Amino acid sequence: MQLAHRLTALAAALCCAAAAHAQGAGPIKVGLMLPATGTYAALGTAIENGFKLYVQEQGGKLAGREIQYFKVDDESEPSKATDNVNKLIKRDNVDVLVGTVHSGVALAMAKAAKDSNTLLIVPNAGADAITGAMCAPHIFRSSFSNWQPGYATGVVAAGKGYKRAMTITWNYAAGQETVKGFTEAFEKGGGKVIKDLNLPFPNVEFQALLTEIAAQKPDVVFAFFAGGGAVKFVKDYDAAGLRRSIPLLGSGFLTDGTLEAQGPSAQGLQTALHYADNLDTPRNNAFRKNFALTFKANADVYAVQGYDAAQMLGIGLSAVKGDFSKRDAMIAAMGKATIDSPRGKFTLSPSHNPVQDMFLREAVGKNNEYKGIAAKALADPGRGCKM
Ligand code: PHB
């Protein structure tokens, strides 16, 4: 290299190292706490891929800052959650936590995030308290509250004129709160939930409960299951011959990311959720194309939520030009943002939960296809949040 060139290169290096140092730079450390094993493993992968896709689309950086990933498999196991999240907070010293899928694990993450004042973005778990009684300025959600898809499906069920419903789910926060949302809207619309059935997470021994449904003959069954458990439930419901006699409705997780594995048993099932695969917008089409090219897999709602978690972080970092030490300004920008999601644009409620349209969808082939709006700009009530 010519001497002049070397000097120029040296000057450039000094300049930018100094600027980076002024920002307290080095990479932003992102702690991904997601399930890599168990019934929700595929959901964790989709979220991670969605997050990384957005970062990759920005050239591998957000607001000029490199992103460094730290990972923990949370196994969707609440009893290990506090130890697991502390690996990211205390051992790895992450700047921001992103996680998780399971509501029980996410509640422990939110507590640890509050205790340590660590920024947290929840890319799935719907536990109502995260953007309710536990809300905090540095806690955000890019997904939904459990109440939202439950409520929207209750609106759909009442609108179809069903009067007597049974519900079936796993006995933990996500199942219970989704059923509560369903019941609220269904009974407001003139229906009655005659019985709630449940089993422990992540059990899939559904036979005794299906026998009870057959005996009670409700007008409709509402189910919350997801991941591997949803695959098994939808197949068992069909194999028991119930699909011919008792319509099955669910929050959209019942058929999201699962249609290939469910095969014919899921075809025609209607669900409500904040995403539909075939939303024909430039934003969604580009997202799905990039996702499929990069990961050789179809995007689903989990991928969207991961992608949007990265967008929210990017919006915050851009507002402070990558200077993470200006965290208050960063958080304020995130709270005020309009997020240009593949699901459609959304804003955040005062407790940092998406205010979003809930779609009625129908399973057709490998897609959950848009059928209409189940609930427009649905905002979680954020019960108990004082911020
Ligand atoms: C939850 O535990 O909050 C949860 C898990 C899987 C889903 C949705 C919600 O698909």
Query: Which residue, by CA, sits nearest to atom 5 of ligand 1?
Result: 102
User: 344-352: which pairs have CB atoms within 8 A and are 24 or more residues apart?
Assistant: 344/279, 344/281, 344/283, 348/140, 349/131, 349/379, 349/380, 349/382, 350/382, 350/385, 350/387, 351/131, 351/132, 351/135, 351/380, 351/382, 351/385, 351/387, 352/131, 352/135, 352/139, 352/140, 352/141
**Beta carbon of 126 within 6 Å of any ligand 1 atom:** yes
- The answer to whether 245 and 166 have CB atoms below 8 angstroms apart is no
CA of 366 to the centre of ligand 1 (A): 21
pLDDT at residue 25, as a whole number: 77
**Beta carbon of 125 within 6 Å of any ligand 1 atom:** yes
pLDDT at residue 272, as a whole number: 98
**Cβ-count burial 316-329 (b if 16+ within 10 Å, e if not):** bbbbbebbbebbee
**Beta carbon of 269 within 6 Å of any ligand 1 atom:** no
> What percentage of the chain has pLDDT greater than the value 70?
94
105 CA: nearest ligand 1 atom: 2
Instruction: Please name which of 383, 292, 282 lies closest in space to residue 342, comparing C-alpha atoms.
Output: 282
The pLDDT tens digits of the residues spanning 10-19 come to: 444 444 444 4
**Beta carbon of 174 within 6 Å of any ligand 1 atom:** yes
Residue 343 CB neighbour total at 10 angstroms: 25
**Beta carbon of 47 within 6 Å of any ligand 1 atom:** no
Query: Which residue, by CA, sits nearest to atom 9 of ligand 1?
Result: 125
pTM for this predicted structure: 0.94
Tokens of 201: 């997470």
CA of 128 to the centre of ligand 1 (A): 11
Phi then psi dihedrals of residue 241, to 5 deg: 80, 10
CA of 106 to the centre of ligand 1 (A): 10
CA of 108 to the centre of ligand 1 (A): 15
Tokens of 189: 């619309």
Most informative mutation of 45, 141, 143, 146 for ligand 1 (most atoms within 8 A of CB): 146
CA of 255 to the centre of ligand 1 (A): 13
The pLDDT tens digits of the residues spanning 167-218 come to: 999 999 999 999 999 999 999 999 999 999 999 999 999 999 999 999 999 9
CA of 178 to the centre of ligand 1 (A): 10
CA of 383 to the centre of ligand 1 (A): 19
Q: How far apart are CA 6 and CA 17, in angstroms?
A: 16
pLDDT below 70 — which residues of the chain?
1-24
Q: What is the dihedral of CA 365, 368, 373, 379, to 10 degrees?
A: 170
**Beta carbon of 170 within 6 Å of any ligand 1 atom:** no
Residue 104 CB neighbour total at 10 angstroms: 18
Q: How far apart are CA 49 and CA 310, in angstroms?
A: 11
Most informative mutation of 122, 176, 253 for ligand 1 (most atoms within 8 A of CB): 253
The pLDDT tens digits of the residues spanning 294-326 come to: 999 999 999 999 999 999 999 999 999 999 999
- The answer to whether 251 and 153 have CB atoms below 8 angstroms apart is yes
Q: How far apart are CA 347 and CA 176, in angstroms?
A: 26
Query: Which residue, by CA, sits nearest to atom 7 of ligand 1?
Result: 226
Residue 354's DSSP bridge partners are 348
Most informative mutation of 34, 43, 101 for ligand 1 (most atoms within 8 A of CB): 101
pLDDT at residue 14, as a whole number: 43
SS3 of 136, please? coil
Q: How far apart are CA 128 and CA 333, in angstroms?
A: 23
pLDDT at residue 24, as a whole number: 53
